[in-house]
Amino acid sequence: MALLVDIFGYLSVILHGLVIVAQSMTLGGLLFLLGLLHPLAPRLAQGGALVQRAQRLTRWSATGLLLAELATTALQVSVLMTTVDLPFTNVMHASFAVSGGVKMLCALVIAVGLRGSVLTSGFARATLLLIGIIELAAATVTTHAFARLDDNALLMLVEGLHQFGAAIWIGAIPSFVLVLRHLEDRESLRLVGARFSRMSMLGVACILLSGITMCVFYIGDLPGFYGTAYGVMVGAKIAMFLALLALGLGNLMVTERLRRGGEAPVMRMRRFAEVEIGIGFTIFFAAASLTSVPPAIDLTTDRVSLHEIAQRNAPAWPRLTSPDHDTLAISQMQAALDRDAERNHQVAQSATIPGSGVLAPRNAEDIAWSEYNHHWAGIFVLLIGLLALLSRGGVGWAKHWPLLFLALAGFLLVRSDPEVWPMGQEGWWVAWRDVEVAQHRCFVLLIILFGTFEWSVRTGRLRNSHAALVFPLLVAVGGAMLLTHSHQISNVKDQMLIELTHTPLALAGVAAGWARWLELRLPGRGGKIAGYVWPACFMLIGVILLWYREA
């Protein structure tokens, strides 16, 4: 149980992100069925079969919501009972537990209710819609709005509107893509595309209206936007939202051509919708991260100023030489403990206890060590992007560029956490208790996986058509994980300045992953353009890493 408490913060963000994804797909699938597919089914070829497929997807989404919410609630209940020593019955009266119970019950009803030809009954449709509204209302209890002392009712309404907009647009896209795969005649494509475009516009309007309102109440001013972790994460969400709007605009142009009876690239609409799903889900994980930090308007001190940002990002030559391991703060502390233990004929204590919640000390050499790691990682990534471009240009030997990922993974595994084996005294397995160490190792594993798969694909060792998709998916997942990555640094401003660097890295990673996806999946000129975009994104990541500073 102690280990569970240690990693609670990071686990709660990941699980909450899964809850938001499953909730949006459940509500979005339900709205897609009730507002689009069921009314249009009589006019579509194989309309009944399409309804059944969409129902099945929504049932699975509801089941996923039930399981994710169960895991989230169980985690929170377990940690609360352990840390506060409250009995189970008292904890279950907390608002998060009540909300979680309501959401699980609603998900169960939706999963069970969407069977057979239930949508033919008007009463069943109205009941399912009501259950969806109840689930949405319960979800707002776990947002910042519920905890506000002022304008509580207004903000909860706005939060509900925001989640409704996300569901009717992003959450419904998987159902839309599923249906598109089975539509062949132009009239069916025109009907479904036009109706979904109107649904998406409603979702965008809801997100814009609620998002602007929440920015006013939760951020308040421009310094709160760029000077706090909350504001920076909102900025990341806005950047991804703009990317979704651009993709949505491309699909709107296709549906307009279909509506006018002209020729339209339907394949492009499908591929853009797939990317919208990926970026939309990344936004959901960013939203989950927002729940772990206070709104910017509540953080009146320790904000980062524009002068501090400019000072930190002033041009400087990359650090390509590493300080000695013995000069790091942890190494010096451990050496002092070892000397004291030897003098007193005792067993030396460990300078750090992974997962204890006590932040490790840092000195100038620790900062130099971290900068050295980032700058050499930047060189690796810059070379990867450059060689990928050369490979695309026909340079044969450059096709082995994915092997650089394996070298990068080895470098990060050894250097990321100097207090842990093989460089430090902390054991390999016990170090998993430390959240930051666990995150670093997950990133290393992702790098090894997509490097291995991409090299195998490039050299013909893997010929399965789906194997090539592993690389873009894992790159995009890595970018999403970086948005949830936390740094255990006691100085709030230093932590914030590091987040300002890692956020564009995450966004560039997400862009690279989905651009590569389009290169593989989108035929014609669009795929060729995407084939140049993702190596450029890697080169941008390399430049940002070379620019990285901690002092």
Chain segment 517-526, per-residue pLDDT in tens: 999 999 888 9
Examine residue 309 and state whether it is found in any structural domain, yes or no.
no
Say what the pLDDT of residue 62 is. 97
The Cα angle at residue 341 between residues 338 and 345, in degrees rounded to 5: 140
Contact 227, 303 (CB under 8 A): yes
Say what the pLDDT of residue 329 is. 87
Alpha-carbon distance of 484 to 506, in angstroms, equals 9
Examine residue 262 and state whether it is found in any structural domain, yes or no.
yes
Examine residue 315 and state whether it is found in any structural domain, yes or no.
no
At residue 192, what is the residue type?
V
Average pLDDT over residues 74-95: 81
Q: How far is CA 468 from CA 454, 457, 519, in A?
A: 7, 6, 11
Contact 304, 356 (CB under 8 A): no
Say what the pLDDT of residue 352 is. 73
Say what the pLDDT of residue 146 is. 79
Examine residue 284 and state whether it is found in any structural domain, yes or no.
yes
pTM (predicted TM-score)? 0.89
Which residues form the domain of 401? 325-547
Alpha-carbon distance of 112 to 33, in angstroms, equals 15
For the chain, what is the domain count? 2
**pLDDT tens digits along 91-133:** 888 888 899 999 999 999 999 999 877 888 889 999 999 999 9
Are 293 and 348 found together in one domain? no
Are 403 and 500 found together in one domain? yes
Are 283 and 330 found together in one domain? no
According to the 3-state scheme, what is the secondary structure of 421-432? CCCCCECCCHHH
Are 358 and 238 found together in one domain? no
Examine residue 307 and state whether it is found in any structural domain, yes or no.
no
Average pLDDT, the chain: 88
**pLDDT tens digits along 375-418:** 999 999 999 999 999 998 889 899 999 999 999 999 999 999 88
Quickly count: other Cβ atoms within 10 Å of residue 154's Cβ: 13
Say what the pLDDT of residue 492 is. 67
Read off φ and ψ for residue 420, nearest 5 degrees: -110, 150
Using 50, 70 and 90 to split pLDDT, how confident is the model at 358? low
Q: What is the largest CA-CA distance in the chain?
A: 89
At residue 17, what is the residue type?
G
Say what the pLDDT of residue 519 is. 94
Examine residue 291 and state whether it is found in any structural domain, yes or no.
yes
Say what the pLDDT of residue 357 is. 59
DSSP state for residue 151 in the 8-state scheme: S
Say what the pLDDT of residue 121 is. 86
Q: Could you say which of 279, 298, 317 is where a domain stops?
A: 298
Q: Is the pLDDT of residue 69 over 80?
A: yes
Say what the pLDDT of residue 443 is. 87
Say what the pLDDT of residue 189 is. 86
Q: Report the percent of the chain where pLDDT is more than 70.
A: 95
| Pairwise pLDDT comparison (348 vs 217), residue with the higher score | 217
Using 50, 70 and 90 to split pLDDT, how confident is the model at 355? low
* Side-chain half-sphere CA neighbours of 55 within 13 A: 21
Average pLDDT over residues 31-58: 92
Are 115 and 247 found together in one domain? yes
Burial of 357 (0-12, 13-18, 19+ CB in 10 A): exposed
Examine residue 303 and state whether it is found in any structural domain, yes or no.
no
Alpha-carbon distance of 466 to 468, in angstroms, equals 5
At residue 174, what is the residue type?
P
Average pLDDT over residues 470-474: 92
Three-state DSSP state, 140: helix
Using 50, 70 and 90 to split pLDDT, how confident is the model at 148? confident
Are 244 and 122 found together in one domain? yes
Q: Is the pLDDT of residue 4 over 80?
A: no
Are 433 and 374 found together in one domain? yes
Examine residue 308 and state whether it is found in any structural domain, yes or no.
no
CA end-to-end distance (rounded Å), the chain: 37
User: How many angstroms from the chain centroid is the CA of residue 223?
Assistant: 25
Are 217 and 99 found together in one domain? yes
Say what the pLDDT of residue 3 is. 52
Strand partners for 369: none
**pLDDT tens digits along 255-292:** 888 777 767 778 888 999 999 999 999 999 999 988 87
Are 233 and 372 found together in one domain? no
Alpha-carbon distance of 84 to 354, in angstroms, equals 22
Are 332 and 292 found together in one domain? no
Q: Is the pLDDT of residue 76 over 70?
A: yes
Say what the pLDDT of residue 6 is. 53
Greatest mean pLDDT among 332-341, 379-388, 493-502: 379-388
Strand partners for 426: 420
Q: Could you say which of 298, 314, 340 is where a domain stops?
A: 298
Are 37 and 141 found together in one domain? yes
Are 294 and 331 found together in one domain? no
